[in-house]
């Protein structure tokens, strides 16, 4: 694989696996009862070079949400755009957040149109990519898109969990992850100043470290992609909310 193709592949991993992970959700017993929204802006860096940005919006209504995100990245003159819309809700069966469906559209390099629907318990999925349909299943852990993974990750953190397992529905496979909560650290995060962060390390198909900020309602303000050749970094730079 050429350096350019490898670089674009890493960008798509960042876009598809990390960008949507900056989710803020209410707990089951504190769900938003009226509609409200949150909008976040992020920067993406690849091996220290700024290569793109993203805007992400959550619209909450009670125990369900619609999350939309749009990102653009470019390197060496080759660009790609990522758009996703995900619907998620609270499952009384699992006492967890589960994905109802999501639609992902990538244009430019490695373009695809991906539509995914899930069973009510989240253990089965149907994936349509450019008209080719496949089905997937998980024995016990619900399959989720990246937005719902982040929301469930936050839920586990608020429960005080120190490790947990999650499964992502990827384009051509299901990807199990094991996640480990580490000791808090302090770091300067512009424009908010010194912030206490809780690192969560992910192992599995991709190795990623997520950094949650408890004083910012457990907003995930940073994520690092630990590639062998290329390193990725995502940073939150702007955030607004109409939610209480």
CATH of residue 137: 2.40.360
Instruction: Specify the number of domains making up the chain.
Output: 1
Question: Digits of tens for pLDDT over the chain (244 positions)?
Answer: 444 455 555 555 555 555 444 333 334 444 435 799 988 888 999 888 899 998 989 899 989 999 999 998 887 777 889 999 999 999 999 999 999 999 999 998 778 999 999 998 999 999 999 999 999 999 999 999 988 898 899 899 999 999 999 999 999 999 999 999 999 999 998 899 999 999 999 998 788 999 998 988 887 888 898 877 778 898 999 888 888 7
Q: Which residues lie below 8 Å from residue 79, measured CB to CB, with a gap of 6+?
A: 72, 73, 108, 109
Structural tokens at position 163: 């490790």
The two most distant CA atoms of the chain are separated, in Å, by: 50
Q: Are 168 and 151 in contact (CB under 8 A)?
A: no
**Segments forming the whole domain that contains residue 30:** 3-241
Smallest CA-to-CA distance from 116 within 18, 107, 130 is with 130
Residues 53-109 pLDDT 10s: 989 898 999 899 999 999 988 877 778 899 999 999 999 999 999 999 999 999 987
> Quick one: which H or E segment has residue 52?
strand 49-62
Q: How far apart are the first and last CA of the chain?
A: 48
Paired tokens of 182:
């580490």
- Kindly list the distances between the CA atom of residue 27 and the CA atoms of 33, 69, 100, 154, 220, in Å, as whole numbers in the listed order: 12, 22, 18, 9, 16
β-strands 185-189, 174-181: how paired?
A: unpaired
Cα–Cα distance measured from residue 36 to residue 205, given in angstroms and rounded to the nearest whole number: 34
Using a cut of 0.95, tell me whether the model's pTM lies above it.
Answer: no
């Amino acid at each position: 694989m050429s350096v350019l193709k490898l670089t674009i592949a890493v960008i798509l991993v960042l876009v598809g696996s990390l960008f949507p992970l900056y989710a803020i959700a209410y707990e089951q017993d504190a769900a938003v009862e009226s509609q409200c929204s949150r909008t976040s802006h992020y920067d993406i860096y690849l091996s220290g070079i700024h290569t793109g940005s993203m805007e992400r919006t959550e619209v909450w209504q009670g125990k369900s949400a619609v999350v939309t995100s749009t990102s653009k990245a470019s390197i060496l003159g080759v660009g790609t755009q990522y758009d996703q819309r995900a619907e998620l809700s609270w499952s009384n069966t699992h006492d967890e957040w589960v994905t109802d469906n999501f639609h992902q559209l990538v244009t430019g390099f490695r373009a695809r149109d991906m539509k995914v629907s899930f069973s009510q318990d989240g253990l089965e999925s149907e994936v349509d990519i450019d008209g080719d349909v496949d089905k997937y299943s998980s024995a016990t852990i619900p399959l989720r898109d990246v937005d719902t993974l982040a929301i469930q990750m936050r839920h586990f953190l608020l429960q005080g969990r120190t490790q947990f397992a999650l499964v992502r529905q990827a384009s051509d496979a299901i990807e199990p992850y094991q996640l480990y909560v580490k000791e808090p650290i302090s770091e300067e995060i512009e424009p908010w100043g010194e912030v206490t962060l809780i690192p969560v390390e992910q192992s599995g198909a991709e190795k990623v470290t997520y950094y949650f900020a408890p004083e910012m309602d457990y907003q995930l303000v940073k994520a690092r992609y630990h590639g062998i050749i290329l390193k990725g970094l995502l940073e939150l730079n702007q955030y607004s909310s109409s939610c209480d």
